[in-house]
Amino acid sequence: MKLALVVPGGVDRSGEFRVIPAFLTLIERLARVHEVHVFALRQEAAPGRWSLAGATIHNIGDGWTRLRATKAIVAEHQQAPFDLVHAIFSGSCSFVAVAAAKWLRLPSVVHIAGGELVALHEIRYGGRQKWQGRMREALVLRAADAITAASAPIIDSLSALGLQAERIPLGVDLQRWPPIAPRGRSSVQARLVHVASLNRVKDQPTLLRALAVLAKAGVNFQLDIVGVDTLQGEIDRLADQLGLAPHIRFLDFKTQRELRPIMAAADLLVMSSLHEAGPLVLLEAAVAGVPTVGTAVGHIAEWSPQAARAVPVGDWQALASAIQHVLADDKLRLQLASEAQRRAIAEDADYTAGMFEALYHQLSAARCTSGLRVAR
């Protein structure tokens, strides 16, 4: 098959920086057996084209991006026809994918991978903040031939909007991120890790306030925070105000290769997000034998209580209590780690690619035999 994938970015020429590992993993697996063209809306400001992970990357760049992306898909189709158009993320990506597919009379798939279905007005985040966005999403998603999402909470959100979707998590590449058996704590000092950009959606203030509660209770811990700071030092300053400086290391961005030993050395992944479709880092932690405690979003909510522990969003007292409880009971921590690893390995990157390929063939067969659309 010849496939068109539409993504916002995450496919940098380097293959290491400014990338989304789950995207590269999926692209690489699809490209083993299919001709894959990736249309990145804004990886770089200027238009460009390069090869990555066995696929051809078409960077659209700034200026009338959606229109030019749609035209780029049509132009490539005229060179040799596509069989299907797939958007990873809704919003602009799904608009382009569905518009191009309709124009070319091809099947379309939209994968919900971010905040397309939420409206967090207090931080100005989400695709449903304004009526225009709600209307656009409703029209585009209803026009798509199939909708997928990574976790059960997102499937439930789509169902509440009257949309049927299939759960397809973006799994971990076990070749590049091989499993490590869960292991007992090796030190009195608990080693915590938090992997996320420092931004409003990840809600690091809730995490820091939870850690301040732990510090006052005498819990011995060190936290490594891995992620780009988009808040100009705000989280670092809050850590100082809360007296957490001796407990926290801000490590900035790390490549997957650099992140691996940090994750492997951790006892617990801690997350405080206001919203997640995944997150992928929970799956990576699970494969590395590390369980997660966090707010009840995405996979964290989906896996709790057997394979993770979830607390209400924004509740730092509950988050502190859950972290302390898991750290104090290593048998429980290892039980969570083992079940999390089992789930992550069962739904790895090969599983993800296989699920998408099966969906592609289903849509292609429906188009060829009856012209009927897959039910949404």
- For the chain, the domains span 2-171+349-369, 190-345
22 by Cβ neighbours in 10 Å (0-12 / 13-18 / 19+) ranks as: buried
In angstroms, the CA 43 to CA 145 distance is 27
| Dist CA 262 CA 180 (whole Å) | 13
CATH number of 2-171+349-369, picked from 3.90.1150.30, 3.30.1130.10, 3.40.50.2000, 3.40.50.450? 3.40.50.2000
Residue with tokens 């132009």: 75
CATH topology identical between 2-171+349-369 and 190-345: yes
Q: Facing residues of 97 across strands?
A: none
Radius of gyration of the chain (CA): 21
Q: How many CB atoms lie within 10 A of CB 111?
A: 30
Question: Whats the size of the chain, residue-wise?
Answer: 376
**CB contact set of 32 (below 8 Å; sequence gap of 6+):** 54
- Return the structure tokens found at 241: 């105000």
Sign of torsion over alpha carbons 295, 273, 340, 303: positive
Q: What's the rounded Cα separation, in Å, for the pair 127 and 35?
A: 31
Closest CA to 151 of 300, 322, 334: 300
SS in 3 state form for 172-194? CCCCCCCCCCCCCCCCCCEEEEE
Query: From the CB of residue 169, how many other CB atoms can be counted at a distance below 10 Å?
Result: 27
Two structure tokens written together for 79: 């060179």
Q: How far apart are CA 85 and CA 171, in angstroms?
A: 21
Would the CA dihedral through 296, 297, 302, 307 be positive or negative?
negative
Residue 143 is inside which H or E element, if any?
helix 131-143
DSSP 87: E
- pTM of the predicted model, to two decimals? 0.93
Architecture per CATH, 190-345: 3-Layer(aba) Sandwich (3.40)
What's residue 115's pLDDT? 85
pLDDT of residue 373: 45
**DSSP classification of residue 220:** -
* Cβ within 8 Å of residue 346, ≥6 positions away: none
Distances (CA, A) of 341 to 98, 178, 181, 352, 372: 36, 11, 8, 16, 39
User: pLDDT by residue for the chain (376 residues), tens digit each?
Assistant: 999 999 999 999 999 999 999 999 999 999 999 999 999 999 999 999 999 999 999 999 999 999 999 999 999 999 999 999 999 988 899 999 999 999 999 999 999 988 888 888 999 888 888 878 788 888 999 999 999 999 999 999 999 999 999 999 999 999 999 999 999 998 899 999 999 999 999 999 999 999 999 999 999 999 999 999 999 999 999 999 999 999 999 999 999 999 999 999 999 999 999 999 999 999 999 999 999 999 999 999 999 999 999 999 999 999 999 999 999 999 999 999 999 999 999 999 999 999 999 999 999 998 777 554 443 3
Q: How far is CA 197 from the centre of its chain?
A: 12
Rounded Cα distance, 109 and 146, in Å: 5
